[in-house]
Structure 1
């Protein structure tokens, strides 16, 4: 583990990119305020019509990637189909329970998920998240769902490799190079997706403990993201490089996006199918939709985002 970006540098970047008060002292939506009906309509008009699932299959078996799997069990199965309590009605019913934060489940981070020195987005104290859930900045800020222009930056493609190695950092130069190579620009209200080739590496090399190494965005990408006023950020990893920094800023992307800028994060997406379709269509922009569960006081939600290319 190394100190990739110093404390002093990250302290300065955090203050520089703060959006606290930009949309009012009571705001809980952050950069989702940048989304307009016109922005969504424009994204919808430009699609070809191919839909691509960007969520990973819910992991129900323990693995090195996901030591706390989701629980999936049957309340009624086919052999007990008459147990509905309604005469003549036959059905099967199942139950799902999961701890979605971590490195195995595709999920959304709400603005209350991370703190910096005891404070979350818009200066709200950590005490606003209690044992019963969050009273501020919860996932309910996204209760209506999001549909916006998505842009995929395929970093392995730009570098001419199949995947980034664990612990590798995506730099602002990588983001600029991907934009140029793909002929796209990232702008206000966009949902930016960054591919590191995690799923391609797993397919070729087998699973590994992502906590011991996972490619992600270097802390120096923070000003790049802020300058473009993105609405959301997603990655096929943890967005941050793993393992974490060893200083006061172990997860600079999470802290600067969620706490300073108010940018909701999407972790552990499966971008392999989207990257393949974008390559086939020779276009890396699309309509991107995210619909989290409506969890009162929730710090996030499992998600299965869909891109319409």
Structure 2
């Protein structure tokens, strides 16, 4: 990566201030202003947010790992061994207990008023989660059994089939629903993943035949105009078609941080909103992920697909709950988190919020190495830079993890097979996706089958091996990744076998043993 000259914008946090103290200090006013949508005013008032480049200069990247022309990124790690690991996460238990869960938040067309009107945030209205500037997609019939629709309402011949058909009557914003981000979706310092020029994000495509559609459709306010669409612009590098063609299949794990550390919502399973930058309980750190995994008895292995639940999606369904698009809880930056994701070769990460990470973050001295204390400050979406642009780690946003999380909490089984592929839309910045999880369950367990003294399972007694911190992965001439690396725990980070064995005490351990071994003779 390119080195940058850097001078700190302020000395906040440079003297070892705690995360809570820092958030209540210089970062609070900026975070509050950004949460209200006044980004330019906030920037002028605080001299920030700080540029992401210097923060990430010394962090690892995967540029060139899979070839100089690679546009798929860390999904390359998901080979046959990883697919088999996902299957094993189900078949190691009683196969009759397998159940499937879909993770897409439905596209209803309902709008959260605060995002489409002058209503102030936080809002108690419900609707489809969407980022400010995008309104909900609404479809309508243009053929059905009524007298008001078009030619397809008429059967081709007496006694033949008649059909209903529909179309979106408003734009379908790809980033406005459950979706996977393309690696070219985000960048900094003029470069995308693998060093591609940011200018490629405005690659034109011309069509011989015009199609009536919307012109002047911009992120800034403006009146769209109907006309003939004969040229479009999109990602010339790193578009979502790469992930769509490859598909994403592997062993997945759920880290239910909301259930483990939540303080709000039903049974205290939601993390709080953080519209001002003052509430550290909304910020998910690497240590929080570790503690959640330990509490669940979950072993995170190399090349696992990691899903994180905060409770954010449930807020948008609860008419009594406050919600703020820019105040959702989520992951926050630290050097250790980036190095962990790199060393563990995490290929894919998803969450139930709008951005996986918090929109506004305060990086303190606790989050960076001792020689990087001058990099503390306020940042916007730094993990998108680290994950998408540097590591090529695909992000899946706005997932509905509520049903999956309830089942995991009931039976103590937080591993499963994850499968999904975003819609193949050429040159698109992302793709709508409805991931399917196949998971062993303990729904058929009885009280007599539970025990307080679980026996170790095969997974719990595997020999732990050290993660290769150099993380060198061989790539042959065809770009195929050598997947001989064993799936292992992140040694030294609290994700190991001992934690898993302890976490499986009681019902969870008994359920796992009973499912694996089948009913007693």
C-alpha distance in structure 2 between counterparts of 1:18 and 1:210, whole Å: 30
- State the Cα deviation string for residues 257-309 of structure 1 (Å, max 9, x = none): 10000001011111111100111221111011112111111111111111111
C-alpha distance in structure 2 between counterparts of 1:306 and 1:180, whole Å: 25
Corresponding position of 2:255: 153
Is the deviation greater in 85-94 or in 244-253?
244-253
Larger relative contact order (CA 8 Å, sep ≥ 6): 1
User: Over alpha carbons, which structure has the higher Rg?
Assistant: 2
Could you say if the C-alpha distance between residues 207 and 306 of structure 1 is closer, same or farther in structure 2, counting changes exceeding 3 Å? farther
Could you say if the C-alpha distance between residues 151 and 206 of structure 1 is closer, same or farther in structure 2, counting changes exceeding 3 Å? same
- State the Cα deviation string for residues 147-193 of structure 1 (Å, max 9, x = none): 11111101122226421111211011101101111122223321111
Corresponding position of 2:100: 51
- From 349, 352, 356, the equivalent of 1:239 is 356
Could you say if the C-alpha distance between residues 242 and 8 of structure 1 is closer, same or farther in structure 2, counting changes exceeding 3 Å? closer
Q: Secondary structure at the residue paired with 1:75? A: strand
Could you say if the C-alpha distance between residues 182 and 77 of structure 1 is closer, same or farther in structure 2, counting changes exceeding 3 Å? same
Q: How much does 1:98 deviate?
A: 0.7
Q: How much does 1:208 deviate?
A: 2.1
- Scaled by the length of structure 2, the TM-score of the pair is 0.55
C-alpha distance in structure 2 between counterparts of 1:285 and 1:34, whole Å: 18
Q: Secondary structure at the residue paired with 2:251? A: strand
CA RMSD of aligned residues (A): 2.6
C-alpha distance in structure 2 between counterparts of 1:145 and 1:51, whole Å: 18
- From 302, 305, 308, the equivalent of 2:435 is 305
Matched, 1:215 2:342: no
Could you say if the C-alpha distance between residues 82 and 98 of structure 1 is closer, same or farther in structure 2, counting changes exceeding 3 Å? closer
Q: Secondary structure at the residue paired with 1:50? A: strand
Alignment of 1:87-98 (within 5 A): 87=157, 88-96=160-168, 97-98=171-172
Corresponding position of 2:386: 256
How many residue pairs were aligned?
A: 306
Whether the 8 Å CA contact 1:219–1:252 is kept in 2: the answer is yes
Q: How much does 1:18 deviate?
A: 1.0
Matched, 1:115 2:187: yes
Alignment of 1:134-283 (within 5 A): 134-142=235-243, 143-159=245-261, 161-167=268-274, 168-202=282-316, 203=318, 205-206=320-321, 208-211=323-326, 213-220=327-334, 221-237=337-353, 238-243=355-360, 249-283=379-413
Q: Secondary structure at the residue paired with 1:16? A: coil
C-alpha distance in structure 1 between counterparts of 2:103 and 2:301, whole Å: 21
Alignment of 1:12-51 (within 5 A): 12-47=55-90, 48-51=97-100
Q: Secondary structure at the residue paired with 1:43? A: helix
Could you say if the C-alpha distance between residues 9 and 120 of structure 1 is closer, same or farther in structure 2, counting changes exceeding 3 Å? closer
- State the Cα deviation string for residues 87-120 of structure 1 (Å, max 9, x = none): 3330000113411324xx1111010100111211
Is the deviation greater in 189-198 or in 6-15?
6-15
Structure 2: runs of 5 or more not aligned: 1-26, 32-47, 91-96, 115-128, 205-232, 263-267, 275-281, 364-376, 440-521
Structure 1: runs of 5 or more not aligned: none
